[in-house]
Amino acid sequence: MKFATEYLWFDTKKKREYVNVTDTVADIVDRSGIQEGMVLVSAMHITAGVYVNDAESGLIGDIDEWLEQLAPFNIDYAHHRTGETNGDAHLKSLLIHHEVIVPITNGRLDLGPWQQIYYAEFDGRRRKRVLVKVMGE
């Protein structure tokens, strides 16, 4: 089995942002030379996430609104008593999750017709990274 590892760096301009990374991950898979296997895409921060869904702007807005309803900003979270102010970002990350695994078939991402890979930032405006690990033969 072969492995290839790369890191993506993000410094978002907004506190919450959704970045389509599908083409970048596909390029990493292509460079790896792996034909059959899987790729792990994992946010390396506890206030960010990675998910697979449609690249439709209305849906992205719906996801953001849904997350804000479930974990609103500026609520008096116990986490804030430690001097932090990003309790909502931690909870949003738990809802989205921090990683996805996507199959690789014939050297390409094996996604469904509308599926795209997204990096979801919930406490932005600072540098963060995502691990992309390609595994297979």
pLDDT in tens, 120-132: 999 999 999 999 9
pLDDT of the residue at 37: 98
Place of tokens 């890191």: 7
Orientation of helix 87-96 relative to helix 57-70, angle to 10°: 120
Domain spans of the chain, in order of start: 2-136
pLDDT in tens, 65-109: 999 999 999 889 999 999 999 999 999 999 999 999 999 999 999
Q: How many residues does the chain have?
A: 137
What's the burial of 24, exposed, middle or buried (CB within 10 Å: 0-12/13-18/19+)? middle
| Three state DSSP letters for 62-129 | HHHHHHHHHCCCCCCCHHHHHCCCCHHHHHHHHHHCCEEEEEEECCEECCCCCCEEEEEECCCCCCEE
- The model scores a pTM over 0.85: yes
Domain 2-136, CATH among 3.50.50.60, 3.30.750.24, 3.30.565.10, 2.60.120.460: 2.60.120.460
